[in-house]
Amino acid sequence: MGQRVIFLVDMQSFYASIEKADHPEYKDKPVIVSGDPARRSGVVLAGCPLAKKRGVKNALRLWEAQQLCPDAVIVRPRMQRYLDVSLQITAILERYTDMVEPYSVDEQFMDVTGSRRLFGEPHAIAAKIQRDIMNETGVYARCGIGPNKVLAKMACDNFAKKNKNGIFELNHHNIEEYLWPLPVGAMFGVGSRMERHLKRLGIYTIGALARFPLPVLKKRWGINGQVLWETANGIDYSPVSRESHDGQKAIGHAMTLPRDYASFEREIKVILLELSEEVCSRARISGVMGGCVSVGCQGADYTHPTGFHRQTALMTPTNGTMDVYRAACRLFLEFWNGKPVRRISVQLSRLCSDKTRQLELFENKEAQRKIGYTMDRIKQKYGAASIIWAVSLLDAGQALERAKKIGGHYK
Name which of 5, 242, 323 is nearest 143 in CA terms.
5
Q: Answer for the pair 270, 264: CB distance below 8 angstroms, yes or no.
A: no
Is 230 one of the annotated active-site residues of the chain? Answer: no
Per-residue DSSP letters for 227-245? HHHHHHTT---PPP-TTTT
3-state secondary structure at position 293: strand
CA distances to 151, 155, 173, 177, 349 from 180, rounded to whole Å, are: 12, 12, 12, 7, 39
Do residues 272 and 344 touch, judged by C-beta distance below 8 A?
yes
Catalytic residue among 25, 64, 101, 107: 107
Residue ranges of E strands in 213-306: 250-261, 288-299
CA 29, CA 379: separation in Å to the nearest integer? Answer: 40
CA torsion sign for 80, 89, 380, 314 is negative
Cα angle 382, 385, 390 (rounded to 5 degrees) comes to 125
CA distance 139 to 250: 33
* Dihedrals phi, psi of 381, to nearest 5 degrees: -85, -40
Is 106 labeled as ligand-binding? yes
Nearest C-alpha neighbor of 290 from the set 228, 354, 344: 354
- The residues annotated as belonging to the active site are 107
Q: List binding-site positions for Mg(2+).
A: 10, 106
